[in-house]
Amino acid sequence: MSRRTKIYEGKAKILYEGPEPGTIIQYFKDDATAFNAEKKAILDGKGVLNNRISEYMMLRLGEIGIPTHFIRRLNMREQLCKRVEIVPLEVIVRNIAAGTMSKRLGVEEGEVLPRSIVEFCLKRDDLGDPLVAEEHITAFGWASADEIEEITNLTLRINDYLCGLFAGIGIKLVDFKIEFGRLAVDGGHQIVLADEISPDSCRLWDRETNKKLDKDRFRRDLGGVTEAYTEVATRLGIIKENGNNSNVVSIVKNED
Ligand code: TYD
C-alpha cells in the first residue's frame, strides 16, 4: 500500500492511483469528523462497514441503471473505481426535516416534507460547504445547466430507490448527501454517481423508534456509532446476525 501513489486524502477516505489507467482505489478510513473537522475521532471498524455498505448501495443502484464510478470491492477497506472529475457540489436530498434545514428554516426536526427537496452545496470546506443556487452553479461554471438537470434527475431516481430499499428494512431515509463525477467517454463526458453512500452521509432513523442509525450518533455524542452502522449492515443482509456487535465488527474485519 505504501508504494501506491496517493492522489488525495480526505476526512474519511484516501484515494490512490488504480492499477490501470482511468481507475482509482478508494480506501475507507476509521476516522470520523464532524462540524467541518472540528470534532474528530477514530471509530474502530467504521471504514470496513462503510466500504461494505457503499459497495452494496452502488451495486443495487447500478442494477436499476444508475451509472456509478464503482467497479468492484478489492478487500475489506478498498474498492476499485473509475477515475472521474468530481463535480464540486454536494447534492443533498431531504425527505424529512433535520440538521441544517431545521436550523436554517425553523422546520421542526422529524417533520415529513411536502415533497423531496434537492439542495446543492459548494464543495469548499474552507467556506463550510455553503448552500448555492443553480444561478451560482452555472454563472461560476461549476456545472452546466444540462449537467444540473442530469444530476437532479439521477438524484431523484436514487432517492426513490433508496427510500424503498431502506423502508424494506424498517429504516426511514431522512436525508443524504451524494456526489457526482464526469466520466470521460467517446470524447465527451457522462455524469456518474461517485464518492460513497454510507451512514456517514445519510440520516437513517428506525421506523418504529426513530433511533438514529447514522453519523448523528457521533455528531451528537449519542455513543454506539459503529454498533448502529453494524445494525444497518446487518439489516441489509451484508453481514450475519450476531447478538454481540463487537463480534460482528471483528467478523467483518477478518472476512477478507
Ligand atoms: P445537513 O443537514 O445539511 O448538514 P449537517 O449534517 O451538518 O446537519 O446534512 C444533510 C445530509 O447530508 C446529512 O445526512 C449529512 C449529509 N452531509 C454530508 O454527508 N456531508 C456534508 O458535507 C454535508 C453538508 C451533509
Give tens-digit pLDDT for 65-115.
Answer: 999 999 999 999 999 999 999 999 999 999 999 999 999 999 999 999 999
Contact call for residues 213 and 204 (beta carbons, < 8 A): yes
- Please state the domain extents for the chain: 85-206
Distance (angstroms) between ligand 1 centre and the Cα of 19 equals 32
> Is the minimum distance from the CB of 129 to ligand 1 under 6 angstroms?
yes
Atom nearest to 121 CA in ligand 1: 24
Q: Please state which CATH number belongs to domain 85-206.
A: 3.30.470.20
Q: Whose CA is nearest to atom 19 of ligand 1?
A: 201
Tens of pLDDT along 125-179?
999 999 999 999 999 999 999 999 999 999 999 999 999 999 999 999 999 999 9
- The pTM of the full predicted model, rounded to 2 decimals, is 0.93
pLDDT-derived band of residue 245, with 50, 70 and 90 as boundaries?
very low
